[in-house]
Amino acid sequence: MLKKLSQTVVSAIVVGGLLAGCSTQSDNGTSATSSSAPKQADSTVKKEDKVKLTFWRNSGNDTENAAYDKLVASFMEKYPNISVEMTPIPYSDYDTKLRVSIASGSPPDIMALDAPTVGSYANAGALKPLTAYFKADGNMEDVPKSTLATYTYQNEIYMAPLTESSIAMFYNKKMFQAKGIPLPSKNPDEPWTWDQVLDAAKKINDPANGIFGIDPAQGFGSAGGTAYFKYPIIWQFGGEIMSPDGTTSKGYLDSAQTKKAIQFFSDLYNKDKVSALEYPPDPFPNGKLGITIDGSWSLTNLKEKFPNFKLGEDYDIAPLPKGTAQAVANGSWALGISSKSKNPDEAWKFVNWVTGHDGQKTYAGMTKDIPSRYSAAKDFPELNEYPKNIFVIQNQKYGRPRPITPIFPQMSDAVNKMFEDVTIGKRNIDASIAEAITTIDKANADVKAQQKK
């Protein structure tokens, strides 16, 4: 979920070689263990045996921590011969400690990872492929294919998803009504086009009184934010960021469709002037912003912090706008198993317990997050009704993985800079894209050179 989304700095893992030494890849680039199936005969722990698993995760809020505590306790009750030692680590320290543990050859058996990091960790051989486990008893059909694709690298699934999140179009209902603008459909399959959104934003826009039409992608914060909010705009216009194998942006980031998307985004600020580089605090609930693209997590934030700004009265939610297609970024935190775990079958039992139907229902029931499984989402009436059904259905039907590549941090930084250069610096779009491609290609070359050492 984006409330915990970070631009995880894993470039040091790959380029610096922290993980390169534990790579298990064969010469053809595929994992040496990719075809190995789970040892079903060994998966049942004998009564006299006691298996201890270590599980590291980033510490969340009190509710998230309580949900994990409950899942661990229920697992050990069902499997008394398997103990799970869970270690919550402060978010700011988590990535560094995990990288160090992997580099030193003593990683935890099970680790929580953010979706965009799968390419880095899998490429370095730090994760055990889970495809065979999923096929055996992971109920793959219960997870959207696009979600599984988010955790797949070189045709192997490396992480098991727990929750999802999504973004949609929040709009000030009273502003729309005052300007005579027809209200958008609440049907997740009937989004407005970006041209319709622009038309509404122009009618609402009133810079002289500090009111702007739209914030299209949560401003210009972290590169992680760019990946989550701005990539969908590229996809919606028919563009792409990288090749399917995640090795280059040449021919993708410089396509006509991608250029059109970036130009449209820049024009919101520079030509149409319906967006601002800076907004006052909380512009949407404070009546200074007509439309904003925001996430499912903001429903709770608006309800708690702005009780007088009411859903259905003051604002409403519509599907994310489209260009030629609907698209939204997917992927959140998920669980992976270390390639060095001495008890991978038992580790899978725990991972499957937490991320299976019952585990997701327990976790989401406490945290109010969106489960990644169809069956778990169906069990919550509020997820099948407006407004949350918009986020759920969008993710299930129109979700897309962010580029799956070992150089995700460098790629995301380059694309973020490209958006900034074109929009804020008003730089030539072709020059900005060319520079981003050069940066991305160099990062890929550095990874390949490191792997040869």
**What does the alpha-carbon distance between residue 85 and residue 53 come to, in Å, rounded to a whole number?**
6
Note the pLDDT of residue 225: 77
pLDDT in tens, 185-211: 999 999 999 999 999 999 999 999 999
What pTM, to 2 d.p., does this model score?
A: 0.89
Task: Name the 3-class secondary structure at 16.
Answer: coil
Question: What pairs with residue 336 in β-bridges?
Answer: 111
Task: Kindly tell me if the per-residue pLDDT of 32 is higher than 50.
Answer: no
Question: What are 123's two structure tokens?
Answer: 């490429």
Note the pLDDT of residue 48: 53
Domains and CATH numbers, the chain: 2-165+332-400 (3.40.190.10), 167-329 (3.40.190.10)
Taking phi first (over 0 means left), then psi (-120 to 50 degrees means alpha), and beta for anything else, what does residue 169 get? beta
In this prediction, what percent of the chain has a pLDDT beyond 90? 85
Average pLDDT in the 8-20 region? 41
At residue 326, φ and ψ (nearest 5 deg) are -90, 145
Question: What pairs with residue 58 in β-bridges?
Answer: 89
89 pLDDT tier (thresholds 50, 70, 90): very high
Short-list 283, 270, 310, CA closest to 426? 270
Task: Kindly tell me if the per-residue pLDDT of 277 is higher than 50.
Answer: yes
Note the pLDDT of residue 17: 44
Short-list 293, 284, 281, CA closest to 172? 284
Measured in Å, how far apart are the chain's first and last C-alpha atoms?
A: 36
Distance of CA 297 to the CA centre of its chain: 13
221 pLDDT tier (thresholds 50, 70, 90): confident
Residues 439, 269: contact at Cβ < 8 Å? no
Which of 218-232, 251-265, 412-426 shows the lowest per-residue confidence on average (mean pLDDT)?
Answer: 218-232
pLDDT in tens, 296-354: 999 999 999 999 999 999 999 999 999 999 999 999 999 999 999 999 999 999 999 99
pLDDT in tens, 151-184: 999 999 999 999 998 999 999 999 999 999 999 9
Task: Kindly tell me if the per-residue pLDDT of 237 is higher than 80.
Answer: yes
Question: What are 138's two structure tokens?
Answer: 């992971």
**What does the alpha-carbon distance between residue 197 and residue 226 come to, in Å, rounded to a whole number?**
20
27 pLDDT tier (thresholds 50, 70, 90): very low
**What does the alpha-carbon distance between residue 44 and residue 343 come to, in Å, rounded to a whole number?**
11
Which of 40-44, 79-83, 155-159, 318-322 shows the lowest per-residue confidence on average (mean pLDDT)?
Answer: 40-44
